[in-house]
Amino acid sequence: MSEQGAAATEAGRESGSPLDPDIVQEVVAVANRAPSIHNTQPWIWTLHPSHLSLRADRDRQLRVADPDGHSLLISCGAALALTEIGLRAAGSDVQTRRLPDPADPDLLAEFRIAGRRQPAAHDTDLFAAAQRRQSDRRPFTPQDIPAETVELLRAAAAGPGVHAEFPVRSEQRVNLAVAVSWADRTEQRDPEYLAEMNRWLRDSDVHADGVPASAIPHVPPGQPRHTDVPLRDFEVGVSGRLLIERDVDEHPLIAVLLTESDTALEQLQAGESMMRLMLEAELLGLGTCPLSQAVDLIAFRTRVSTLMGWQGLPQMMLRIGYPAPGDLQAARTPRRPVTDILKVLPA
Ligand SMILES: Cc1cc2nc3c(=O)[nH]c(=O)nc-3n(C[C@H](O)[C@H](O)[C@H](O)COP(=O)(O)O)c2cc1C
């Protein structure tokens, strides 16, 4: 960096450069594409004269599937990561404070601009990947993911307080399958869980949130979909329109994101880690989909950890694999307009 550039950056650091509202609109539009449980989009940004903030929108928390707000924080962590990536891709040197006010736990992050810099090529690539990424619930091809690629995913997911495990040994897969199936059955037997899910299965012509039928897989009768680790079943009073018409025997790579304990900060950081891993996978030509039944509730997270013999707690799980070459991109899941999720305060 030139001396002048360095001086400008230093000055920016002291005063805090103002955020350009047009750039913020663009960044928030992409950060809003973060994945969220049942596409609840439980977030709201506010542009203040000196900084941008991200808050949890508790009205959008799932009362049955997410009573302690764990999935809400994972979702918001993903939105946090995309906000940072977007600001960096726009050439900003961003400084983020997570959970800056203990008296206001729903204030999840504050972003301040300390100066300008040339965007790194990787940030620009990640920002572009964020605009393409979507949860892919179709079967992946049987093609193995090379060990070097798994290491790239591990490195992308690694961050303060979070690391990724990829259980591949057969006894680990059996234990994981048992844990996910047990959590899945427990939830499926709860009429309130089913009713809540049904409320979030929404027609994308009418609603800008929720999971549309076009994103829900449907396997015709007599056409088996064998998978050791079961997917969350969204066909609750609604028939999926994402037709799975070939015989499949799936063994996707499973990523598990672990933290030492279960604090709000760790859940937020696990969401950031999930987002980084998804974007890296997208850049590597891999599809991803969260698979979170076994981590929805603290009782599940603790039980899975014990069953798997892990030190930490699993915060999130993802299926990962190569999309089949002939598969067309499924329709994108909708998002609310930026005017609904970004408040701009007068300068
Ligand atoms: C915390 C969390 C849990 C999720 N759990 C599941 C899940 O168990 N099964 C699934 O198919 N999708 C799951 N998703 C994906 C969301 O349904 C998806 O992100 C949302 O519908 C938006 O779609 P998109 O990711 O394609 O943009 C989860 C996402 C998050 C952030």
Atom of ligand 1 nearest to the CA of 136: 26
pLDDT at 315: 98
User: Who's near 96: CB < 8 A, 6+ residues apart?
Assistant: 80, 84, 109, 110, 111, 112
pLDDT tens-digit readout, 93-120: 999 999 999 999 999 999 999 999 999 9
57-66, 141-150, 169-178, 223-232, range with the lowest pLDDT: 223-232
Task: Identify the residue whose C-alpha is closest to ligand 1 atom 21.
Answer: 39
| Ligand 1 pocket residue status of 51, Cβ below 6 Å | no
Task: Identify the residue whose C-alpha is closest to ligand 1 atom 7.
Answer: 291
CA of 7 to the centre of ligand 1 (A): 44
Task: Identify the residue whose C-alpha is closest to ligand 1 atom 19.
Answer: 35
| Ligand 1 pocket residue status of 74, Cβ below 6 Å | yes
* Burial environment of residue 184 by CB neighbours within 10 A (0 to 12, 13 to 18, 19 or more): buried
CA 270 remoteness from chain centre = 9
Per-residue pLDDT band at 8 (split at 50, 70, 90): very low
Alpha helices by DSSP H, listed for 241-297, are: 264-283
Statement: residue 249 has pLDDT above 50:
yes
Closest CA to 78 of 33, 27, 122, 40: 33
| Ligand 1 pocket residue status of 333, Cβ below 6 Å | yes
Question: CB atoms < 10 A from the CB of 346, how many?
Answer: 5
Question: CB atoms < 10 A from the CB of 282, how many?
Answer: 20
User: Who's near 286: CB < 8 A, 6+ residues apart?
Assistant: 145, 149, 153, 320, 321, 322, 323
First to last CA, the chain: 31
Residue appearing with tokens 């900060």 = 265
pLDDT at 13: 42
Per-residue pLDDT band at 328 (split at 50, 70, 90): low
Amino acid in position 317: M
CA of 236 to the centre of ligand 1 (A): 16
pLDDT at 11: 39
| Ligand 1 pocket residue status of 41, Cβ below 6 Å | no
Domains of the chain (ranges; CATH) run 3-133+334-344 (3.40.109), 147-321 (3.40.109.10)
Buried b (16+ CB within 10 A) or exposed e, 21-51: eebbebbbbbbbbbbbbbbbbbbbbbbbeeb
Give the global pTM: 0.94
pLDDT at 251: 87
Instruction: Tell whether the torsion through CA atoms of 85, 86, 92 and 96 is positive or negative.
Output: negative
pLDDT at 12: 40
pLDDT tens-digit readout, 136-146: 999 999 899 99
Atom of ligand 1 nearest to the CA of 78: 31
Stretch 44-53: mean pLDDT: 97
Q: Looking at residue 17, what DSSP letter applies?
A: B
| Ligand 1 pocket residue status of 70, Cβ below 6 Å | no
Alpha helices by DSSP H, listed for the chain, are: 3-15, 21-31, 70-89, 121-132, 147-157, 170-188, 191-199, 264-283, 298-308, 338-341
| Ligand 1 pocket residue status of 290, Cβ below 6 Å | yes
Atom of ligand 1 nearest to the CA of 74: 1
Write down the mean pLDDT value for the chain.
Answer: 92
Residue of 227 and 28 predicted with greater confidence: 28
CA dist., res. 285 & res. 227, Å (int): 22
CA of 333 to the centre of ligand 1 (A): 10
Residue 250 φ/ψ, nearest 5 degrees = -95, 140
5-14, 85-94, 120-129, 283-292, range with the lowest pLDDT: 5-14
